[in-house]
Structure 1
């Protein structure tokens, strides 16, 4: 069986639902509580590649930090934005599940979206 990683926030209902869905499918993913262990900029860029999205497309636009950092209309590079996300992990959309074998990833919104990886 393939190995998976979930970037998880236990306080988030969608994150909890996604983890439960994986466990119901017999998958025990590696759990990264990204608020306690923020991803490096390189990891954020790897998530971007796995999701097939620019970094700006998987940020939480309603977070206070997003507004405080004036990220609406950000014109810098994905690398620069990844550095910001690594310093402010609350900006990261959640949950993100990564299939380790090929690094493909999906955002668990809705939770069933991660089933594409199985």
Structure 2
């Protein structure tokens, strides 16, 4: 089943959700600010996206700038920062089987549904 990691306060995430709704396919919405992914879940998502953990971080977030910017962090420390501060997780993330994309732009989602 298709899964979207969604933040309703984000316009790109809302657009991604709308694309999924229009597709007519079944999907699950994960409100990741309420149901924070574990470190293992984030590692699995990062592997599916085929990216480095730092590429999943929203580097313009105040939390990142205040606490992490300019520091040398390893992958585990970056993942820990996202678990402890889920606002740092880029959104939306859509997973369909063994494929995943970050919906920025939202049209990226069309590649896997």
Residue matched to 1:83: 80
- Matching of residue 50 in structure 1 with residue 48 in structure 2: yes
Find 1:113's aligned residue among 89, 102, 108: 108
Determine whether 1:15 maps to 2:10. Answer: no
Structure 1 equivalent of residue 63 of structure 2: 65
TM-score calculated relative to the size of structure 1: 0.89
**Unmatched tracts of structure 2, length 5 or more:** none
- The size of the alignment, in residue pairs, is 113
Aligned-pair CA distance for 1:73: 4.6
- Equivalent residues in 2 for 1:25-36 (5 A)? 25-36=23-34
Q: Distance in 1 between matches of 2:71 and 2:109?
A: 29
**CA contact under 8 A between 1:45 and 1:79: conserved in structure 2?**
no
CA RMSD in angstroms comes to: 1.2
Alpha-carbon spacing, 1:80–1:70, altered in 2? closer, same or farther (3 Å): closer
Tell me the TM-score normalized by structure 2.
0.93
